[in-house]
Amino acid sequence: MNNNPLLSGLEFTKETGSFSLVIFGVTGDLTRRKLIPALFNLFIEGRINQFKIIGFARRTWTDETFRDEGRKMLSGGKFDSISSDKKEAFLSRLEYISSNFEDPKGYKELLNKINGFGGTLYYLSTPPTSYEAIIENLGKNGLANPDTAYARIIIEKPFGRDLATAKKLNTHLSTYFEEKQIYRIDHYLGKETVQNLLIFRFGNSIFEPLWNNKHIDHIQITVSEGIGVGTRANYFEKSGILRDMVQNHIFQLLTLIAMEPPADLNPDSIRDEKVKVLRSLKPITSKEVGQYTRRAQYNRGIVEGEEVKSYKEEEGVDPKSLTETYVALKVFIENWRWAGVPIYIRTGKRLSRKLTEISIHFKNPPHQIFPNSHPSLNANTLILHIQPEEGITFNINAKIPGLSTSMRRVNMDFAYGNAFGEQTPEAYQRLLLDAITGDPSLYTRRDEIETSWSYITRIINGWINENPPMYSYRSGSAGPEESNDLMEKGKWRRL
């Protein structure tokens, strides 16, 4: 446990008990990059003790191969300082089943391994095309209700590719599992700064009275990335950034920023409020996609000093591709609090840098008494930095020292690193721990996912029906020029 007094508020208090975590598609990238490091962190922090991690995949690995691979995953970086005894103690918990996802034999073997041992969690980390077979086989082979304390199923994104496929997957899941057993993961909800949005809004009394259309002019949500499509063209070509980032991650940010205070912290109280926001979104009809949306693809350019290809030149991308790598939206929430407040959303690959932030732009003072000052100087802005910097900045106006009455914007800053030290848990660490302890607050409920897909599917259909322009932007820039005219007042914050 950490003795740093600055970190005292960060302690988890959850009891985990013994459990088996079964990772379907364990040979994939997510296990190496996120799951094993997160589980190992939980282990060295003493939060999990009695557990098995059972890999399930097609490759003909054995327990030993899985452990050898695990050893590689725990070498380098911050894990180098951890003793090999500790690592071996963790690796001894790794087991492997080699089976294809349709073969009942693999599931029988799994049942033998988990029965009688604490609780069970199934983590679906396979391409979504395998979800149906895995869910059905878990159900038909007695694994949805095994002889264990509980059985929960965690499902990675993409959860469907439109409203119809999301509903189909939900219906299929509900044939074998109850809703309380289903954990739909969105890793943005595991980020500390995202969770802090609730504390910031409802743990302080000074912001909430201003948090409405009387005081707020508009809101901007930016999720920009420097990386391109990389090796994921196969997935991304069929997805596009609207599905990849907006339907899930950005809508999570939007709902947390816009929701009403929940009655309490029960998982369903929070999720009820989030769903209400999604239900209040003003749909963008086919005829309106040209007015409220901008889509674009990256051209060649320079990102972080490196020359990079255009999207159409990336390996695995159709040279005639119509998949968007950037999207900007103007969104309205039709309720008492937010009527008339535009919320501008933008996200893209190959932009100038990685940045996730939400900015709240307040209205100008009702009357201007200072002559000769630039009017835009007077609009206060609150910026919630999600990543890579984590913190909050409040822009206010201050008098420039001197004999004239002129003013300038200054910042009041809160940086997570300074206040609490460097150590914030990884998103997957928090989310896995919550699933193990049975707390679904940070997981997406069925109606939440379907309501957000319903909104996004309309836009996708609008794009198909109306075929608005596919703009382009230089890699390393702030996105297409054409997204500027989405805003009738204000402008995008500098990237």
DSSP state of 46: T
List the Cα angle 188/194/197 in 5-degree steps.
Answer: 150
> Tell me, what amino acid is at 8?
S
293 - beta bridge partners? Answer: 329
Shortest CB 249 distance to ligand BG6, Å? 6
Task: Name the residue nearer to ligand BG6 (CB basis): 349 or 445.
Answer: 349
CA-nearest of 387, 451, 33, 459 to 240 is 459
Q: Does 69 bind ligand BG6 (CB under 6 A)?
A: no
Tell me how far apart the alpha carbons of residues 27 and 416 are, in angstroms, rounded to a whole number: 35
Nearer to ligand BG6, 51 or 311 (CB): 311
217 touches ligand BG6 by CB under 6 A:
no
DSSP per-residue letters across 230-275? TT-HHHHHHH-HIIIIIIIIIHHHHHHHHPPPPSSS-HHHHHHHHH
- Closest CB 460 distance from ligand BG6, rounded Å: 17
Q: How far is the CB of 196 from ligand BG6 (least distance, A)?
A: 16
The residue type at 338: W
Q: Pick between residue 23 and residue 333 the one whose CB is nearest to ligand BG6.
A: 23
- Cα separation, 480 vs 196, in Å, equals 31
For the bound state, the minimum distance from the C-beta of residue 225 to ligand BG6, rounded and expressed in Å, comes to: 6
| Antiparallel, parallel or unpaired: β 407-415 and 216-224 | unpaired
User: Distance (Å, rounded) from C-alpha 121 to C-alpha 437?
Assistant: 11
Nearer to ligand BG6, 110 or 250 (CB): 250
Residue 455 Cβ, how far from ligand BG6 at the closest point, in Å? 18
CA dihedral 235, 236, 242, 246 (to 10 degrees): 70
CA distance 355 to 177: 38
Instruction: Report the alpha-carbon distance of residue 191 to residue 430 in Å, rounded.
Output: 8
Nearest distance in Å: CB 437, ligand BG6: 23
Residue 244 or 324: the one with the smaller Cβ distance to ligand BG6 is 244
* Partners of residue 270 on adjacent β-strands: none
Q: Which of 477, 481, 458, 457 is nearest to 469 (CA)?
A: 481
472 - beta bridge partners?
297
385 is catalytic: no
Set 187, 215, 218, 249: catalytic member: 249
Which among 447, 371, 454 is positioned nearest to 407, based on CA atoms? 371
How many CB atoms are closer than 10 A to CB 11?
Answer: 9
CA 302, CA 299: separation in Å to the nearest integer?
10
**Which residue number, 148 or 347, has a Cβ lying nearer to ligand BG6?**
347
Structure tokens at 78: 């911050």
Nearer Cβ to ligand BG6 (185/360): 185
Number of residues that bind ligand BG6 (CB under 6 A): 4
The residues facing 413 across adjacent strands are 393
Where in 185-214 is the site for ligand BG6 (CB under 6 A)? 187
Question: Side-chain half-sphere of 310: how many Cα atoms within 13 Å?
Answer: 14
Residue closest to ligand BG6 (Cβ): 244
DSSP single-letter state for residue 18: S
Shortest distance in whole angstroms from residue 187 CB to ligand BG6: 6
| CB of residue 449 to ligand BG6, shortest distance in Å | 14
Q: Which of residues 141-160 bind ligand BG6 (CB under 6 A)?
A: 157
Contact residue for ligand BG6 among 69, 95, 217, 225 (CB under 6 A): 225
244 binds ligand BG6 (CB under 6 A): yes
Q: Which is nearer to ligand BG6, 20 or 248 (CB)?
A: 248
Mind telling me the catalytic residues? 249
Site of interaction with ligand BG6 (CB under 6 A): 157, 187, 225, 244
